[in-house]
Structure 1
Amino acid sequence: MFGRHRRHLNFESAAEHIPHGHGGHGGRGMRHRMFDSGHLRLVILDLIGETPRHGYDVIKALEARCGGLYSPSPGVVYPTLSLLEDQGFVTVEVSAGNKKRYTITDEGRAHLAENQAFLNAINARLAMARSQEAHGEASNDGHPDVRARSPELREAFHRLKGAVLQRVRAGDLDAARVARIREILTQAADDIDKL
């Protein structure tokens, strides 16, 4: 399923398929995938970048980032961790009891920096899903779905996504611009969470 070779993933083209915050396998009866595998790899790498983690810690941190809307299975997380190791983005330290602790590498940090705008877009989508869940906004199948109820929000989100993609595709993202975009998106997500 996952090759044992090292390659860099290009998240620009995948940005058109940022998850909508619905679905997944596990948790609250969801029926659709929460993340494409490329999205999940990037979010897991970001979680490990925050602090070194064991596999179980990754699962719990991912569930927390998704606001309980998604609980990944070990069968999804552990192969992803192996792939990140194969790519050189994380290292593994085995402790007593054969517990593996994953730590981000410099190459992994560089990969996160290269894809920061895309990661911010994923996190903004997750924040929107958490907000919808918190406010009880649901579609007729019980899933949060503000898109159907609010064309204005859908339009605003597409405009935001388009602006981020335009910056990424322009190829002129230096560290200062990435930091500024991250700051803007993080603040927006925080403001939405407080509503």
Structure 2
Amino acid sequence: MFGHHHPRCGTRGSRSFGPFNVEWSFDAPRGPRGGGYGGGRGRRMFDGGELRLVLLRLIADEPRHGYELIKAVEELTGGAYAPSPGTVYPTLTMLGEMGLTREQASDDTRKRFEVTPEGAMHLEENREQVEELIARLQAVGARRERADKAPIRRAMGNLRVALGHRLEKGEFSDDTLHDIAALIDEVAQKIERLR
């Protein structure tokens, strides 16, 4: 089971993972008190053997090499988080030493890894935790997506408020109203052309 002790990995719930720690690797959007997601920069994405389970799950989904695993995690989080090579490659070595993965035979110079029957059993034994970890990564991606849209929502709100106040006061002539409408139409056309 996941909680058993292994000579080169931390125990369940520990704050370190073997000889290294897994840290957030992005500047999270700041909340009203200046903190980012769950406390801001420096909060660990994974503790203990959690990254090991995530990588094992991704390898079980599809044989991959180290860079592909980094990109897969990054895609799950919408680009908000990517584990460093200095974290991923030692974890891959550990997975192999534990007999959970093996190198796939390939003509490619890069090592692709596949899950072993023992690895598949390990995932099944820890299925609930694995699903929670994947959900955590996807939640980070969802927060990132909402944060990315926030400036646009703010700008649209500013435009609506500014126009509303001025129109209520009746400060615009008919010519000025036509000029404002032309400006908004021009911006809309430029947005449609953006790629």
| TM > 0.5 | yes
2:78–2:145 contact (8 Å) kept in structure 1 = no
Aligned match of 1:79 = 90
Deviation at 1:106, TM superposition (A): 0.7
Structure 2 CA distance, aligned partners of 1:83 and 1:71? 19
TM-score, normalising length from structure 2? 0.55
Match of 2:46 among 17, 35, 38: 35
1:70 pairs with 2:81 = yes
Structure 1 CA distance, aligned partners of 2:125 and 2:2? 10
Aligned residue pairs, count: 124
**CA-to-partner distance for each residue in 1:50-91, whole Å, 9 max, x for gaps?**
110111111111111222121111110000000000010000
Structure 2 CA distance, aligned partners of 1:125 and 1:16? 18
Structure 1 CA distance, aligned partners of 2:135 and 2:57? 14
Amino acid corresponding to residue 27 of structure 2 in structure 1: R
Deviation at 1:128, TM superposition (A): 2.3
Match of 2:122 among 111, 118, 126: 111
1:130 pairs with 2:141 = yes
Aligned match of 1:61 = 72
Structure 2 CA distance, aligned partners of 1:25 and 1:133? 13
Structure 2 CA distance, aligned partners of 1:27 and 1:60? 15
**CA-to-partner distance for each residue in 1:18-57, whole Å, 9 max, x for gaps?**
xxxxx93433364222111411000000000011011111
Aligned match of 1:151 = none
SS in 2 for 1:47: helix
Aligned match of 1:10 = 3
Greater C-alpha radius of gyration: 2
SS in 2 for 1:70: coil
CA RMSD of aligned residues (A): 2.8
Bigger relative contact order (CA 8 A; separation at least 6): 1
Structure 1 CA distance, aligned partners of 2:49 and 2:134? 14
Q: Which runs of 5+ in 1 are unaligned?
A: 1-7, 18-22, 138-195
Q: Percent identity among equivalent residues?
A: 39
SS in 2 for 1:91: strand
Q: Which runs of 5+ in 2 are unaligned?
A: 5-10, 16-21, 29-40, 149-195
